[in-house]
Amino acid sequence: MPLFSETGSTTILEPLPFADWQQRPAWPAVSLANTDPVEDLAPHVGRLRLIVLSFPKFSDGRAYSQARLLRGRLGYTGELRATGGVLQDQLPFMLRCGFDSFESDQKGFGEALAKTRTLFSVVYQPAEDDRATASLLRLSRRNVHPAV
């Protein structure tokens, strides 16, 4: 399946399924099912270079929560890959949840990825992409121009 990322760089490490990886936790690449407990990776995130999260169907959104926990709570900074039902119209959500590589066989996926960050100039909620929310921008604007 073709692999995409915004920077064009992805790791070639072979991820182990979670159960196998638990036998070899020194291996830097792991693949999680939606039911695998991401919290268990906490002691290992510094050393992991690839975590693959799966979308059994594009409409199954459990991996979005897993991604946010890995990035936001566990502080994982390596490659976070989406696999399975991965379609271009999910990209705005996936990027915000911290995914940075994508396996997809959808036609035009690469071109869509290149344009995704131009779709929405505003976000309403904090996520894992560190974009300033509308609410924060309003606050700083008010502090520059006190309320009239």
Partner 1 sequence: MPDTHFYQPKHFYQYDDYDRALVGERVEQFRDQVRRRIAGELTEEQFKPLRLTNGLYLQLHAYMLRIAIPYGTLSSRQLRKLADISRKYDRGYGHFTTRQNLQLNWIKLQDAPDALAALADVDMHAIQTSGNCIRNVTADHYAGAAVDEIEDPRIWCEIVRQWSTLHPEFSFLPRKFKIAITGSPNDRAAVRVHDIGLRLWANEAGEVGFEVIVGGGLGRTPMIGKTLREFLPRDELLAYLEATLRVYNRYGRRDNLYKARIKILVHEIGAEKMREEVEAEYAAIKDGALKLPAETIEAIARQFAPPPLPHRPAVVAEVEGLKLEDRDFALWLKSNVAPHRMAGYRIVTASLKPAGAPPGDASAVQMEGVADIADAYSQGEIRVSHEQNLVLPHVAVEDLPAVWRALGRLGFAEANVGKITDIIACPGLDYCALANARSIPVAQRISNHFAELARQHDIGDLKIKISGCINACGHHHVGHIGILGVDKNGVELYQLSLGGDVDFGKTAIGAILGPAVTADKVVEAVDALVHTYLDARSDGERFVDTYRRIGAQPFKERVYAAV
d(CA 111, CA 16): 30
Q: What's the angle, vertex CA 51, arms to CA 108 and CA 37, rounded to 5?
A: 120
Q: Rule CB under 8 A: is residue 145 a binding residue for partner 1?
A: no
Stretch that binds partner 1, among 2-10, 15-23, 40-48, 130-138 (CB under 8 A): 130-138
Q: Rule CB under 8 A: is residue 142 a binding residue for partner 1?
A: yes
Residue 16 pairs in a beta bridge with: 30
Q: Rule CB under 8 A: is residue 86 a binding residue for partner 1?
A: no
Least CB distance to partner 1 at residue 92 (A):
7
Per CB under 8 A, contacts with partner 1 among 61-80 are: 61-62, 64-66, 68, 73
Q: Rule CB under 8 A: is residue 139 a binding residue for partner 1?
A: yes
Query: What contacts 24+ positions apart, CB below 8 Å, involve 72-76?
Result: 72/98, 72/128, 74/38, 74/39, 74/41, 74/42, 74/45, 75/45, 76/41, 76/45, 76/48, 76/51
| Footprint of partner 1 (CB under 8 A) | 58-62, 64-66, 68, 73, 87, 89-90, 92-94, 96-97, 107-108, 119-127, 133-135, 137-139, 142, 147
